[in-house]
Every structure is written in structure tokens, then in C-alpha cells.
Amino acid sequence: MSKSKRNSGLRFQPAGGNRTPQVPVGKKQRLTLERLSGDGRGIAFVEGRTWFVSGALAGEEVEARVLSAHGKVVEARLERVFSASPLRRAAPCAHFARCGGCNLQHVPHTEQLALKQRLLAEQLQRVAGVVPEHWALPLSGPEFGYRRRARVAVRWDARAKHLDVGFRAEASQDIVAIDECPVLVEALQPIMRQLPALLRGLRKPQVVGHVELFSGTALALLLRHTGPLAEGDLQYLQAFCSEAGVQLWLQGDGKPTAVDQTQALGFVLEPWNLELAYRPGDFVQVNAQVNTAMIEQALAWLAPQNDERVLDLFCGLGNFALPLAQQAREVVAVEGVQTMVERAEDNARSNNLHNVRFFQADLSLPLAGVEWASEGFSAVLLDPPRDGAFEVVSKISDLGAKRLVYVSCNPATLARDTQALLRQGYRLKCAGILDMFPQTAHVEAMALFEAG
């Protein structure tokens, strides 16, 4: 074959068209923001690309720095404001410009609530084609000092022989050094301030994986370590925790374990005089005040009667199941993780509640054929993870429930599951947001469905 023939092969031909060069990370761009996205970022359109700019507001002219770019989508972070929105406020936290934890501190709290309400309404309308018969007022508490649990990032820099302690930067694995966080509850603030010096004082700080802080019936510090603690480090940590009045928990290869196993840890649901035991690593709502308001609203909407059998799906430690058991004849509570089922059972016994039964089941599958569902239910409450509960709700009318309360941490999957409920003849009676995470764009919601 001649050289000219070989060169005419398809593999030597251009792909066709002109490939648009990618926007380099770190590039600065002047932008005018047209509107806000569902997660609170400003949106701008430049040369066929859509820019999402965290920290920017609709109507502003800004300079943004590129964090990443994929195809026609560019993600960026605000660098300068040339023309500010009248809604803009100074962020209360000094770390706002870099920390990835709170992305709406530049927005007044009332506008944060309005943004979340709009997002929920748009998802329900766009995906399910429905508007609730009634909108509930947002459930909200203090916009700062609300977070009773925090995970603190820790990383050993071998070259600098330095331990970084703080929270992850936005869109990065970098750690922003933080010793004070305004969204933490006041009880955790002193521990947070002392934590960097505490960890850097370890003889072998490089084995620290991360730290979790919790405030409930007691204060607790969990240290996750990736290798054995150095000699003397355990005593050093115990001395600090003893003086600070904090329980010390450790986690190596196994489960979190309290150093002093005689100590109890949990949280209280005051309106119902309930105390639920908790272990680091268990799921618990981080906002105690909104959690209480959420349970109160769920009970009011579900209105369980003392002759009714009620189903609680994704029950966790019993956050809803135990208050429900105080009102209903019987509660059946279901969770996917067996250890959580066992802890929920312990919580029911310790609170002298004997009309609630707990079961383990894979809730990513339909409920058909399970023994505990055979008798049916008057009402159902479900609080699924972000993936929602499509398989469960797709045939939930088979259980005979006339009322269903759906607690959601993802409006998109709530809207998708709403479609399935509407097809079964349920009506969306009421919906509203739960402001579980002020200063962030995270949206939680509650919806009430009624049969017929």
C-alpha cells in the first residue's frame, strides 16, 4: 500500500468541527448573574457556557474564579463584587470565603427560607405537576448556634510535619483551618477552639483520621485513628476530656467505643419526656430545635388515634416511632440496618414503651409479602435518605393507609415519589420546608398525602 493510501485512512482524519477549549481552573472571569440556581449559586451565561458561581446573587456584576469546568458547565467561586444586590449582607463567619460548610451566609435568613420554598415548589410542579392544597409555614429555629453534631477534618502534612484541623474547602480536599464555627451549638464552641492545639499535642498526630463532636445529654468527642495511638496519647486525651467535661470515644478498625463504658450518651425529646441513646456514627438530626418542631408537625398532620396501627419506615433510633407510640394503639417501625433496629428496641424499652415493634428490612425493595405489613395500617410515616423511597411508595396503597406523612431531605426524590402516590389516588394536602440547615442550600421538607 502506498504512503498516500495509508495517509487517507480514517484514523488520520480530523474529528470534524472545532473543539471549544476548556476553561482553565483558576481563571478569573467578569460576569453578570441572571438568577439563582436551586442550590443558591448565581447563574451567568457566557459564550455558550453556563456559569454557577457560589457566593454570588442574581443581578450582581462580579469577578469569579473557576473551580472546575466540564463541557458547557463552569463552576466558580466569587472573588469580587463590582455591583452588589440589595439583598447581600456581610457573611457573619470569617471563614465564609473558603469553607465549604455554609454557602448562603451572604443571604438574609428570610431570603434563604424563600429560596428553599421556591425550590420545593418548582420540583413538585415540574416533576409531579402538582401544587399542594395548602402550603405550611417554614419550620425554622435560630439561624446560628444550632448544630449539635460536627465532623472535623484532620490531615497530616508529612512534608511540613504539620496537622491541619478544620473543615473542607469548597470543591476541594484542602482543609480550612478553623477553631470557631458560628453554626455549632454554644456547648461545642470551647471544644472546637481547643481542638487544633489538642490534636497537635499528640505524640503521633499522623494517625488521626477525623474527629466528631456531639452535644446531647452529654458532650462527646470521637477520635477516629488509622493506626495505634502512641504511648501516652490516650492518657493525654483522657486528661483533656476529663477537664473539659467531655466523653472520649475512639474508633480504630471497629465500631466507635467509649473509653469509659459506664457513661451514657443520647438526646432528649422534651415534649414527650423521651431520652434516646445514641452512639457516634448513628444518624441523628443535627438541629435539635427543628427536629422537635418537625416531630410535632408530623404528629399533628398524621393525627394518629389511640385505636390505630401506624407504620414508621426508615425509623432510625426511634425519633418518630417513640412519640408515635405514645398516641397510637400500635406502631410498627422498620429500618434497613440491624444494629439500628436493636438500638431502637433498647430505646423503646428504656422509655417503657411496649406497643412499638421494630423490624429490619431492605427498604429499597417493595414491601410485598412481609409479615409485619399483612394487617395493614391506618397511617404511614416515612423519613427516607436522599435516594427517596420509590420502591416502597409505588404500592403503598396496598397497606390501606388513608394518611401518609413523607419527610424528605431531597425535594427532587420527594417530587418523583409524589408522582407514584398521586397515581395511587393520594392527594397532596399540605407541604412545607424544614429549615434543618440554616446558612446552607440544603432543603428538607414534609408533605401530607391523603387517600381519595
Give the catalytic positions in this structure: 409
User: How does strand 149-157 pair with strand 61-70?
Assistant: unpaired
Q: Rounded to the nearest 10 degrees, what angle do helices 411-423 and 109-123 cross at? A: 40
Q: Establish how many alpha carbons lie within 13 A of residue 397's alpha carbon, considering only the half-sphere containing its beta carbon.
A: 14
Q: Which residues lie closer than 8 Å to 431 by C-beta, 6 or more apart?
A: 120, 124, 132, 135, 136, 445, 446, 447, 448
Alpha helices for 99-253 (secondary structure H): 109-123, 189-200, 233-244
Q: How far apart are the first and last CA of the chain?
A: 77
Report the C-alpha dihedral over residues 179, 182, 183, 187, rounded to 10 degrees. 70
CA 417 to centroid of chain Cα atoms: 19
CA 348 to centroid of chain Cα atoms: 26
Which residues make beta-bridge pairs with 169?
A: 99
Beta strand spans in 303-372 (E):
309-313, 330-335, 356-360
Which residues make beta-bridge pairs with 407?
A: 446
The Cα 392–Cα 382 span in angstroms is 10
What are phi and psi for residue 255, nearest 5 degrees? -85, 160
For residue 124, give the DSSP letter.
I
Q: Grid coordinates in use for 276?
A: 434516646
Q: Grid coordinates in use for 239?
A: 486528661
397-406 residues labelled b (16+ CB within 10 A) or e (exposed): bebebebbbb
The Cα 229–Cα 320 span in angstroms is 39
